[in-house]
Chains A and B, each alone.
Chain A
Amino acid sequence: MILTLATGLFLIYGAMDMPKWGDPESPASVNVSPRYIEKAFEETAVPNMVTAVLADYRGYDTLGETTVIFAAGICCLLILKRRKKEEAT
């Protein structure tokens, strides 16, 4: 409980310094992302920028993510496959 509160306070302490909500001038919106918005359609011919960034600019992340899903499927298979020997005990 105390640990949780400490974590929360630490987080809030950091959050004080953050840019305001919805501020179009915040560093996150100024530094890298304008290129995605302004150029994505031109460079990839895909109007949905989220898809453009997801599957192209950061396509490798998405490959990793698909692998995560695949891993989850195989892991469930591995964990839950019936084991005759152990079930008996």
Chain B
Amino acid sequence: MIRRQDSIIITTLTRLLTPFIQLFGLYVIMHGHSSPGGGFQGGVILGAGFILLAISFGIDEAKQRFSEGLIAVFSSAGVFIFAGIGLLCLFLGANYLDYGILPVVEPRSLGMLGVEIGIGITVMAVMISIFRDLLTFE
């Protein structure tokens, strides 16, 4: 069981670090197009940021912050974005996941971006969820 750390150094440091970790995670998701990275990698970094918070502030507080329902909503929302983009292509008259039909500039590139964001959300939520489940099981 992980409890809140009493050390002020740890709590302050994690508080300072977390925004940067999350920013980096977002960067990795967004720049999956032109540099190594993408939804999975970025999602894991985002999730790791939250897990770091949970470790230093104790599981009880973390449990309050990320309720089970919220995590479930997030993780299914991520896949839903992915599958929904595919379905949108279907409704617009092309094959499933054929981004070429989307009504935006450079549709394939943007379609991929949307997909990556969806993946990122799911991976983040699932990482937190597995961590939380493993910890809180008695």
Give yes or no for direct A-B contact (beta carbon below 8 Å).
yes
Residue ranges of A at the interface with B (Cβ–Cβ < 8 Å): 43-48, 50-52, 54-56, 59-60, 62-63, 66-67, 69-70, 72-74, 76-77, 80, 82, 87
Interface of A is mostly: helix
B7 at the interface (CB under 8 A from A): no
A-B contact pairs, 25 of them (CB 8 A): A43-B108, A46-B34, A46-B112, A48-B38, A50-B36, A50-B38, A51-B38, A52-B112, A55-B38, A55-B116, A56-B99, A56-B108, A62-B115, A63-B79, A63-B82, A63-B86, A66-B78, A66-B79, A66-B82, A70-B75, A70-B78, A74-B72, A76-B129, A76-B133, A80-B133
Residues of A within 8 A of B136 (CB): 80
The answer to whether B130 and A46 touch across the interface, beta carbons within 8 angstroms, is no
Q: How many A-B contacts are there with CB distance less than 8 Å?
A: 93
Which 8 residue pairs are nearest across A and B when measured between Cβ atoms?
A: A73-B126, A55-B112, A44-B108, A80-B137, A76-B133, A59-B97, A45-B109, A80-B133
Q: Which size bracket describes the interface of B in this complex?
A: 35 or more
Residues of A within 8 A of B82 (CB): 62-63, 66
Interface residues of B in 30-45 (CB under 8 A from A): 32-36, 38
Looking at the assembled complex, report how far the CB atom of B111 sits from the nearest CB atom of chain A, in whole angstroms.
8
A67 to B86, CA, bound (A): 14
